[in-house]
Structure 1
Amino acid sequence: MSRYLLRIPYIFLTKGATSTTKTVLTKKGSAFVRPIHTCSGLLSLTRYDENTDWQKKLSPEQYVVTREKGTEVPFSGVYLNHYEVGMYHCVCCDAPLFSSESKYDSGTGWPSFKQAHGTWERDESHASIVRRPDNSLGHAGTEILCKHCDAHLGHVFEDGPDPTGERFCINSVALNFKPKAK
């Protein structure tokens, strides 16, 4: 049954498809990918240049984690046992993500934070992160992305300490630490 449900959108997309749409469909290899616009010259809504060559800018491990939604090996990250005072930034675009004040040892193997930088109570409108539903872990979860460059950072779980009760489980390779100026 699901095989037929997946083919129905493909039939509708290809029947009324323009040459641009057909090109995108064959390049991506998915029936669900279609162009958002047909005008050329429109820029990305995010702040980074969409022509950025992430493979040149990032190390291979950083690229796999941030751009391909990978996960570093547990207990291997450089920031797991790091307790210097300062700010953790996005390795891709340098946006401030987490303060060292919200970092704690969760014992899970990845750096953990109570809340994102710029969060006030439960309001994350000034934070540099966005949440996205994610089922890749085998159950319903929440992925954390950088708001400015869409880099995959990690996941958030509801087993954290007070006051938020949340645990932001973040990959070290997605972070760049900047110590507080003295």
Structure 2
Amino acid sequence: MRRWPLIAFGITLLGALSGAAAYQQAGPRQGEQRTWREIAWPFPRDGWPAGKAFRCDGCGSDVAISVRPKIGFCNCDRGVADDDEVDRVADVDLMSEHFVPLAPGEVVRVADMVGRIRTYELPPAAGARHAVGIAVSRRCDLLVAVAHGNGDASEIRRAALAFLATSEMTRWTMAAMDGR
């Protein structure tokens, strides 16, 4: 009779140790395994200063994003008003001139700025299957981002928006828009 409490304690202890070992060996959850690292600006020089570019380790579809301000380049009254403007300014053309919109764009908010987001299909020579163009404005200034990857367009979009919403990127975005 005295063995049963000892056996029950041993089984409980063994279960707890197994659970702790499994927890320590388990990988991070889906949202936690994304790690963004800064990379060199991937596009040739043009009339706008280079911004920042990042690649996501753990996004599952080789997602990269490039972000930069275009100071003084936005319609001061309307901001980013339509999809044609996103197509023109979001730097998707730097990946390929032959991008094809997949659907109408949508209103999006990045930091304290409002604009539009649109997804595109890219030709095989572009090195990525899909791109997401983002253009948001504040006063007469524009912030553009293009994210691209070989996975599902909606996953690229989610990863890009989650990255742009991080406190580090929000601080950088606001400083860049203020010319610092």
TM range (shorter): under 0.3
Q: Which has the larger radius of gyration?
A: 2
TM-score of the two chains, using structure 1 as the length reference: 0.26
